[in-house]
């Protein structure tokens, strides 16, 4: 509720109410219960968590784990509720079928790998976009028998949590803050294990699901797309620009 001069006495009453919320005695000592262990616990947990994730990826442990599905009784093709959902799911199943047939062919002479597909799905809130993503993730994991066969990412942590994904920043090592606006450079990660884990993660991916694309500006799209293009641009062709 905005407080303006037009509120007159109501503004004074609100100020007194806010001040009355502070029940601490004058001269409260904030450091009395401070603990170094507590203050650094979150950072230590974060470091240990990502160290374990990196080690599991490099050792291949993440690909050998039992397949983990997202509420299988909800996120399954049989539960489509609209024609639009049915068309998207069936199109995805057909693309996966083509890729599986190619991968499982003993003799690939004369065969050509099915092309990568990019599908843009848009809709108002509540029409089932997240349901489609989680259903297709379940399909991918079941057919390729691996939790590493799919990855999901969004621009924000809150939207990533809804589909059990990551942020674009975390997945693609995109800089944040002021560095986001700087000219893209090569990856600034120097830890060999982290680089290898990132390479292995993306090389195992069959389907990549990106949500909330309307939150992405051109800079974000470029920073997400550039690393996936492989080789850096030719120095003889400046028109290709910089790639991350």
Q: Where are the domains of the chain?
A: 44-227
Higher local confidence (pLDDT), 244 or 71: 71
In angstroms, the CA 136 to CA 154 distance is 16
What integer pLDDT is reported at residue 184 of this predicted model? 67
Task: Output the pLDDT for position 241.
Answer: 35
Q: Give the residue-averaged pLDDT of 3-31.
A: 68
Looking at the chain, how many residues does it have? 244
pLDDT tier at 87 (50, 70, 90 boundaries)?
very high
Tokens of 60: 């291949």
H or E element: which one contains 228? Answer: none
Q: What is the pLDDT of residues 40-82, one digit of tens each?
A: 899 999 889 888 888 887 777 666 678 888 888 999 999 998 9
Q: Locate tokens 């029409």: which residue?
A: 127
pLDDT the model gives residue 92? 92
SS3 content of the chain, % helix, strand, coil (to 5): 55, 5, 40
| Per-residue confidence band for 30, with pLDDT thresholds at 50, 70 and 90 | confident
Read off the DSSP letter of residue 120.
-
Residue pair 243/232 in contact (Cβ under 8 Å)? The answer is yes
């Amino acid at each position: 509720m905005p407080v303006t001069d037009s509120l007159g006495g109501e503004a004074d009453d609100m100020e007194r109410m806010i001040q009355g919320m502070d029940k601490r005695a004058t001269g409260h000592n904030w450091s009395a219960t401070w603990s170094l262990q507590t203050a650094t616990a979150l950072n230590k947990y974060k470091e240990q968590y990502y160290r374990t994730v990196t080690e599991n990826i490099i050792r291949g442990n993440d690909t050998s784990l039992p397949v983990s599905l997202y509420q299988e009784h909800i996120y399954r093709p049989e539960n489509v509720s609209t024609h639009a959902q049915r068309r998207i799911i069936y199109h995805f199943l057909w693309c996966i079928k083509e890729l599986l047939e190619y991968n499982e062919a003993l003799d690939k002479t004369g065969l050509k790998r099915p092309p990568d597909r990019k599908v843009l799905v848009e809709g108002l809130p509540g029409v089932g976009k997240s349901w489609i993503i989680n259903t297709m993730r379940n399909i991918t994991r079941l057919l390729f028998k691996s939790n590493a066969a799919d990855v999901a990412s969004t621009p924000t942590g809150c939207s990533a949590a809804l589909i059990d994904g990551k942020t674009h920043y975390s997945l693609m090592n995109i800089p944040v803050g002021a560095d986001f606006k700087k000219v893209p450079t090569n990856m600034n990660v120097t830890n060999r294990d982290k680089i290898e884990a990132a390479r292995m993660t993306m090389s195992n991916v069959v389907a990549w699901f990106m949500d909330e694309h309307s939150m992405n500006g051109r800079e974000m799209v470029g920073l997400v797309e550039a690393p996936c293009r492989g080789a850096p641009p030719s120095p003889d062709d400046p028109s290709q620009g910089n790639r991350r």
